[in-house]
Chain A
């Protein structure tokens, strides 16, 4: 995320001794203002991140004082481990599915909320509600809804006569990942909807109106005018939804615990399991760094790719 700042200070050009003294003093105040956040941030974000890099070359167990340097072994294990490959595959499936589905759902919801004639604010709030829930709470609600014996979903299937479609949605390895993906779309779509909505509302009405007079129908107006102007919002939503998907954790913890078998185990879940369940924190940090690099690379590629198709008014 790049933020550009302007730095033309007219007062600087006509600096007089008194002003100069004041400016100097301001410098000390600025330092004082920034210092607390700087110390906290450095100490509790940057230092541990750098320690991660160091620990990833060790076989530390998280408890003992002995930290043994083992070179690149952790990374070699990551490359060779079947379990990591499986988790990587799950993470990629989840991420690709969530980025596409969440953005599609969010775009549809945003257009509907923008166009609907009545109860606009109420609809917006309802679509946003799930965003307010914790992943744990949301995961529990869906665990019960998708329960094989007592769940609402299977009950609904019986009611409409689709008994053959009934599944143990979270207990069947073929459907567990799908269930997690779809319930996460439910939880997050409202978040991106708000961003798309802000984008939609900044599209000037006279542009689409003019196109309408020229004979473009509503779909064509959306496709050729509104949609290209949403590219900025889309970049933001794509990047944010991707980062969130790569970090997915809470709902997996409560819905499947990575199972059945390893069917829903993701990279973040392995980091947690290996680091705190199996007490192999050296290996855990190595995995964490791989995840960080993955996020970094994909974000940069995405920003580069999507910025290109952005249109300025």
Chain B
């Protein structure tokens, strides 16, 4: 019995390992190809790079507009997330703690938005952004990202707030703190894990987004990393090494953040999904 159990464990480990190799291979292939020269990729796609060739990175960073696109990606992601943190936790807090009919109606109104696909409103959205003067600059996508994450964000915060005791806020208020002060000084710090989850999940989505920056940012100028990569696939169809260098530069920051903040990816996902 003991022996059979051990055999089982080993078999299961081998099966998992095999699947892990298959799952990891495309990512490994990408990282590896970024350090190969183009002829090397064409000649033998599976072979390891002969030497660490960083020419494609150099070319991408000096000869193309990729650095500007990287900056755009970074600005878009950081600014959108900052505005989300300024606006959404507050709303979630008011909805959860001031439990009245009107706040419940607003909550349902927000959640309904989670069902609307972006494609369903993107065409009039661009017209509207033009009207507000938000078309053709970074402000446009930022506003849309923040608006689009209200439903998910409020769901995340209200479910998290249910587990935060009210006593602390109440005593702060008795001590003369305003609601506004109580929220930012007392409650908001307690919501740290929830905020972290929202930041990593929404930040990832914005960093990786394609359709909106492609359509909203001005043409003829560098847009975001992902959009540039998409254009390169069409334009530099024979410079795979360069495109692989680009995709690598878009993956590395995500991998690093994921390795450090793994639990927030998992937690936000599980709580956002299970409670829904």
Q: Which of A92-100, A135-143, A304-312 contacts B (4 or more CB under 8 A)?
A: A135-143
Please provide the chain A residues from 231 to 271 with a CB less than 8 Å away from any CB of chain B in the complex: 232-233, 236-237, 240, 243, 246-247, 249-250, 253-254, 268, 271
**A133 in contact with B251 given A152-B29, A232-B274, A250-B211 (CB within 8 Å):** yes
CA distance in complex: A49, B109 (Å): 13
Closest approach, in angstroms, between the C-beta of B203 and any C-beta of chain A? 11
Closest to B43 in A: A150
Question: B29 touching A37 by the CB < 8 A rule?
Answer: no
Please provide the chain B residues from 200 to 221 with a CB less than 8 Å away from any CB of chain A in the complex: 204, 207-211, 215
Closest approach, in angstroms, between the C-beta of B179 and any C-beta of chain A? 4
Residue of A116, A186, A296 near B16 (CB, 8 A) is A116
Q: Does B78 contact A (CB under 8 A)?
A: no
Residue of B19, B106, B270, B276 near A109 (CB, 8 A) is B19
**Residues of chain A lying within 8 A (CB to CB) of residue B269:** 191, 194-195
Please provide the chain B residues from 100 to 144 with a CB less than 8 Å away from any CB of chain A in the complex: 100, 103-104, 106-107, 110-111, 113-128, 143-144
Question: B158 touching A3 by the CB < 8 A rule?
Answer: yes
CA distance in complex: A142, B183 (Å): 47
Question: A3 touching B124 by the CB < 8 A rule?
Answer: no
Question: B210 touching A236 by the CB < 8 A rule?
Answer: no
Please provide the chain A residues from 1 to 29 with a CB less than 8 Å away from any CB of chain B in the complex: 1, 3, 5, 7, 9, 22, 25-27, 29
Closest approach, in angstroms, between the C-beta of A180 and any C-beta of chain B? 14
CA distance in complex: A168, B23 (Å): 22
Q: Does A34 contact B (CB under 8 A)?
A: yes
Question: A142 touching B143 by the CB < 8 A rule?
Answer: no
Question: A27 touching B98 by the CB < 8 A rule?
Answer: yes
| Binary interface encoding of chain A residues 269-308 relative to chain B, with 1 for a CB under 8 A from any of its CBs, else 0 | 0011001100001001100110110011001000000000
Question: B33 touching A144 by the CB < 8 A rule?
Answer: yes
Closest to B129 in A: A44
CA distance in complex: A145, B26 (Å): 8
| Binary interface encoding of chain B residues 26-50 relative to chain A, with 1 for a CB under 8 A from any of its CBs, else 0 | 1101100100000001101110000
**Residues of chain B lying within 8 A (CB to CB) of residue A237:** 273
Closest approach, in angstroms, between the C-beta of A219 and any C-beta of chain B? 12
Q: Does B150 contact A (CB under 8 A)?
A: yes
Closest A-B pairs by Cβ, 4 of them: A134-B208, A51-B124, A44-B147, A33-B94
Q: List 11 A-B contacts (CB under 8 A).
A: A41-B110, A44-B143, A44-B144, A127-B23, A134-B208, A143-B233, A254-B230, A288-B117, A288-B120, A291-B119, A296-B115
Q: Please name 19 further chain A to chain B contacts, defined as beta carbons within 8 Å, in addition to the given A22-B173, A134-B250, sorted by A numbering.
A: A1-B276, A5-B158, A25-B179, A30-B103, A37-B88, A51-B127, A115-B12, A125-B258, A126-B20, A128-B265, A132-B204, A132-B251, A134-B210, A138-B26, A145-B26, A156-B46, A186-B23, A236-B274, A292-B116
